[in-house]
């Protein structure tokens, strides 16, 4: 499985004190049978991790360049339910292995 991320940073046209970061992510898997499930899991995990990474970057930049101002509030972070996703992935893998076994159908 591979995950490719592209980030493009540009100045905000409406507020020169802000920078816009446009992120694009592509997850690909060559595993036949549960490719879509694995790719969906990777994208959901990436989204959660990128939210936290962005908050960390904003916190660091704020502390470096705006230490005299209060930190902005943290909103919109959702907990990722990895257990149900892992369970679905495991079930899909079991189905795939069962259907591809040499004794299947005998």
Task: Report DSSP letters for 48-106, one per residue.
Answer: HHHHHHHHHHHHHHHHHH-TTSPPPPP-------HHHHHHHHHHHHHHHHHHHSTTTT-
Tokens for 82? Answer: 């990895």
**pLDDT digit string (tens) for the chain, length 106 residues:** 888 889 898 999 998 878 888 888 888 888 777 778 888 888 888 888 888 888 888 888 888 888 888 877 766 555 555 566 566 666 766 676 676 655 544 4
- Is 105 within the bounds of a domain? no
Number of neighbours of residue 69 by Cβ within 10 angstroms: 8
- Is 13 within the bounds of a domain? yes
Structural domain count of the chain:
1
Q: CB–CB of 53/61 below 8 Å?
A: no
Give the structural domain span for 18.
2-100
What is the C-alpha radius of gyration for the chain, rounded to an integer number of angstroms?
20
- Is 90 within the bounds of a domain? yes
- Is 41 within the bounds of a domain? yes
- Is 106 within the bounds of a domain? no
């Amino acid at each position: 499985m591979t995950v490719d991320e592209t980030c493009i940073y540009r100045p905000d046209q409406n507020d020169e004190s802000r920078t816009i970061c446009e992120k694009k992510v592509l997850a690909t898997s060559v595993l036949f049978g549960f490719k879509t499930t694995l790719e969906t899991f990777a994208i959901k995990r990436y989204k959660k991790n990128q939210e936290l990474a962005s908050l960390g970057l904003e916190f660091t930049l704020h502390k470096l360049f705006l230490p005299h101002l209060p930190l902005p509030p943290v909103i919109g972070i959702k907990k990722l339910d990895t257990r149900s996703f892992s369970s679905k992935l495991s079930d899909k893998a079991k189905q795939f292995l069962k259907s591809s076994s040499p004794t299947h159908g005998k």
